[in-house]
Amino acid sequence: MVRNLGPQLRCQVSPTDDRDGGPEDTHARILSGLNDQQQAVVLACEPDVAVVAGAGSGKTETLTRRIARLVLDGVEPERILAITFTNQAALNMRDRAARYVPDARRIRLGTFHSIALALVMKNRHAMRLPDKISVLDTEDAVASLKKVAAALRTNEENLPRAATINKILSFARNTERTIEDVVHSQYPQYVHAVEFVQKVSSAYVQFRRRNALFDFDGLLEALAKMLEHERLGPAIASLFEEALIDEAQDLNALQIRIVRALRSHDVRVMFVGDPSQSIYQFRGASPDIMFTLIKECSAQVYLLETNYRSSAEILEVANAVEEAMRKRIPRELVSHCGTSGLLPRLIEVDDKAAEAVAIVDAILDRKNEGMELEEQAIVVRSTANFRHVEAELIARKVPYMVRAGVKVTEAGAVRDLLCVARASLNLGNEPAWMRILQLAPRVGERKAAKMVEAISGCGSLQNAIGIVLDAGLKNEAIRPVAHALRLVDDERGGPPAARLRLALNALEPLMEAEYRDDWKARKADVVAVIDIAHQHADLDSFVSSLTIETSIEKKRMGTVDPNEERPLTLTTIHSAKGLEWQAVYVPSMIEGHIPTMYAQAPDDVDEELRAFYVLVTRAKTHLEFFKPTVMPDGMLRTASRFEGVIRDHCGRERGARVPHGRRGGFGVRIQPEAVELW
């Protein structure tokens, strides 16, 4: 069924029409296998069309066939503009369209940024730009801002770093809000530095202009200005007759400005997306943008509601989540796959230790039933909520990959702490000493190297600590390093987890200063690794084991062996967008994770519901939510408010209790005398 939510203008075209001399069999082939709603999108001929495409509804294939139909019906391929959010998606769309109509290879397509760059380069002389234009990637932009900020820096403390300034400026430019507004709403800890950030912004603009540099946001701003120019705008827009814009729910204000400019020059626009999957509010996206665009364009709205991915049982959960949203387009996803007989499960466990064991048990049970690891995923709102499961995977040697960020053992703060352990165990471990010494302010590579040279021949850890303390007479900031080393040494023979926790307490002021805004998340990584240490009898075996595992994993990731088992995926919701797995496991179905603790205002709760909807619709047949009931301090956890949304559509059960021998480290502890190797 096709539901039209816009004006009641409809251009009916028979699937067998032979327009403009196009071969009837090609038209039939383009429409072959599509459902009625998909065919309606392919054949739509209104000037402005909005396609609300549900999760797993075959959106890409539908857009591909529409491109083929446009070319077959006489639209010059070069006058079709397809905008996607990745270049890979654009190339995939073009190649698939060319299977129906070879000339479709000539369409113009790419991301907003790649199209903006091409048009800026082509029209650089009209814009009075030099022949040589360079584009700054994010790393280069941050480096440039660092240089600009250094020239303006005052004696005032707690000024934002260049990376933070880049985020502030980028958000302001993409949402077309003022710097002051963004700082007050998103970065209140830097309200005192608004004037400084504004000065850096002005100087950064001059720096880019002087050196003919564009950053990514600058490319979009340039394209918008060109399209809005009284002479350049019509000339550029005349290149295009049709524009197809994918993932419209993720557009921000700056990108919408570009779309509006195209429409103002009579380019026919089809924008495709799903407001219920708009989860990039932190980048300036909002479902309101798509709703506004539909209304502003008086667009004809088409729905894609048949889901080709998930079982009917999983879609019952998805539809319930969507119904809980305040802002949505009425629709209901229907499963093409039918029922699987497997209800999603809500599993209550004692605590996070039991949760980790239960999740890994479930993964391995599925594997024994024939479901490969690569067909399974653990999906979370933030990486901190799978670190305890990661510890259990490491303990049980289950291969896995992390799609969001880095593995816990490779995180910077974790490496800092492990280097304290490595340095205490081996005075000759130069890389470890270099890393921990440079944690202290005003200790650069040269000073650290000088100390390392003295330490390597000093004979004992106590003497090495003395060398660090001597340096502390001139630079007090280095004393926490000496304190951490001393605490680790004083507890020699004690449990490795306890020794590492003492070292963390000593180093925390330095690490918090180093990682600043990211410290809370970084600390969670460190605590997760300390938990892994519980399964080891001594610090040396723990550090050696972790080093070997990390080294093997890096070698594995660097080569592709078709006979090697492909790993399980650990990912955040945002990194899972567009992906799918046979089985999805959701740890920590509790308040503070799903939804996040910051979800208080109605719009923020809706954003969390949309993220939850994306999570649910990643699963094909198996979907399991885990709910730990007790916190580490013994307090009861609060159930997720979203549990009430899904409870009636899930099977509920109590997870098995975990033996005490497996608590804390999520693995079996082996006493040193238990095994005789020689």
Residues at the annotated binding site for ATP? 53-60
Distance CA 58, CA 39 (A): 11
- Which 3-state string (H, E, C) describes 422-489? HHHHCCCCHHHHHHHHCCCCCCCHHHHHHHHHHHHCCCCHHHHHHHHHHHHHHCHHHHHHHHHHHHHH
- Which residues on adjacent β-strands are paired with residue 82? 109, 244
Binding residues: 53-60
Pick from 541, 506, 477, 483: which is nearest to 672 by CA? Answer: 541
Residue 585 CB: number of other CB atoms within 10 A? 29
Phi-psi map region of 322: left, alpha, beta (phi>0 left; psi -120 to 50 alpha) = alpha
Burial class (CB in 10 A: 0-12, 13-18, 19+), 673: exposed
Q: Where are the beta strands (DSSP E) in 514-615?
A: 568-572, 581-586
- Say if CB 635 and CB 618 are below 8 A apart: no
* Residue 341 CA neighbour count, 13 Å, CB half: 0
Pick from 420, 432, 437: which is nearest to 501 by CA? Answer: 420
270 in helix, strand or coil?
strand
Burial class (CB in 10 A: 0-12, 13-18, 19+), 200: buried
Give residue 82's identity as a one-letter amino acid code: A
